[in-house]
Structure 1
Amino acid sequence: MDWNRVEGNWKQVSGKVKEQWGKLTDNDLTEINGRREQLEGKLQEHYGKTKDDTRKDVDDWYDRQTW
């Protein structure tokens, strides 16, 4: 997985992230700033899933994107 794409285009990608995970706030998105670890941490906070489940959710979301 090439997460650099997400980091480099965070302003555009953050809209897709918020579409997928509506509980994330604009402040969360600013704090995440394209960093996968931060995204996973915020998702765990808001959705209460395990680290492994969250990682899988992010992988699945990333794989569905059309870059």
Structure 2
Amino acid sequence: MNRDIIAGNWKQLKGQIQAKWGDLTDDVFDVAAGDAKYLAGKLQERYGWERDRAEKEVTEFERGLDERYRH
């Protein structure tokens, strides 16, 4: 999981992340503030996923981002 992509672009990506995982609360997004590991943990809690799946979901989201978010 490349935490730098989400962390470095949090303000721009927050809306896309909220649209993808809309069952997460606004508080989660405020606290996450780009922390991909925290986000994966909250996905695990909310959706009942295993940790590996939650991390994979975040990683796949990052892979789907276009080049403007990659450094």
Length-normalised TM-score, structure 1:
0.87
Moved over 2 A (4+): none
Q: Which runs of 5+ in 1 are unaligned?
A: none
Length-normalised TM-score, structure 2:
0.83
Identity value in percent: 36
Any idea what the Cα deviations from partners look like across 1:1-58, whole Å, max 9, x if unmatched? 5422321221111111111111111111001110111101110111000001111111
CA RMSD in angstroms, aligned pairs only:
1.3
Count of matched residue pairs: 67
Q: Which runs of 5+ in 2 are unaligned?
A: none
Q: Highest relative contact order (Cα 8 Å, sep 6+), 1 or 2? A: 2
